[in-house]
Chain A
Amino acid sequence: DIQMTQSPSSLSASIGDRVTITCRASQSIINYLNWYQQTSGKAPKLLIYAASSLQSGVPSRFSGSGYGTDFTLTISSLQPEDFATYFCQQSYISPWTFGQGTKVEIK
C-alpha cells in the first residue's frame, strides 16, 4: 500500500491566519491526490482533487499544490467554519489510502 503521511497532526491558528498542511506519499502518485474536510460528527467533504483542482462550491481560499510525492493544502485566510480535520487521499494505486488527518483548532 502507498503510505500517506500528513504534517502536522494538529495545529492552532487564529481567524484570518494563513494555514498550510502537508501530505507526503511513500512513492510517486503523480497528481492523484485529494483533500477532504471533516467537521465533528459529519461525513468528509471533498475540497481539492487532482492535487490542485477546486471542487465545485468550495471557497477560493482553499488551494492545493504539489506533484509526485509532496503536496500542500493551503487556507489563505482561516474562517470560523474552517476549524475541522483535514485528510489527504491518494487515488493513484488501489487501495486508495488516506493520511492520518490534521486537526485545525482555534488558538
Chain B
Amino acid sequence: QITLKESGPTLVKPTQTLTLTCTFSGFSLSTSGVGVGWIRQPPGKALQWLALIFWDDDKRYSPSLRSRLTITKDTSQNQVVLTMTNMDPVDTATYYCAHGHYDLGRFDYWGQGTLVTVSS
C-alpha cells in the first residue's frame, strides 16, 4: 500500500525559505522508473506542477520557479524534500507530493496536501 504525507510549516513570512518534506511508504525511490513530484494549488485555483525527482536522481523543475526550487531525496529515509526560497504571499497554496512514473508520466498516489500560508 503506497502512502505519502507532506510535512512542514503552515505559516511562513515573506522572503523566508519554505522547506517541505514528503515521507512515503509502500515503494522505494531506488526502484527504476519511480519518481516523486511536488504540485501546488492556490485556494480556488488550478494545480501547478513544481518539481519532480526520479530514482536515478534526475531532477525536473518548473522553469518559472527554477531559480527558487531545490528537490532532493533521501532513499534510506523514504523522504523527498522541496525547498522554495524567497516566499511571497502569492505562494500561498496547498502543497502536494505524489508518486510518479517515468514511463507515461502519471501521478497515481497523492499525499493529503499541506496548506502553506505566506503572511507577515
A35 CB to closest chain B CB, in angstroms?
10
Binds A, one of B9-17, B79-87, B100-108: B100-108
A91 touches B63 (CB 8 A): no
| Residues of chain A within 8 A of B105, CB atoms compared | 32, 34, 91-92, 96
Interface size of B in residues (CB-CB distance below 8 Å): 22
Interface size of A in residues (CB-CB distance below 8 Å): 23
Q: Is B55 an interface residue (CB 8 A)?
A: no
Binds B, one of A11-19, A41-49, A67-75: A41-49
A96 touches B47 (CB 8 A): no
Q: Is B110 an interface residue (CB 8 A)?
A: yes
B-contacting residues of A (Cβ < 8 Å)? 1, 32, 34, 36, 43-46, 49-50, 55, 87, 89, 91-92, 94-101
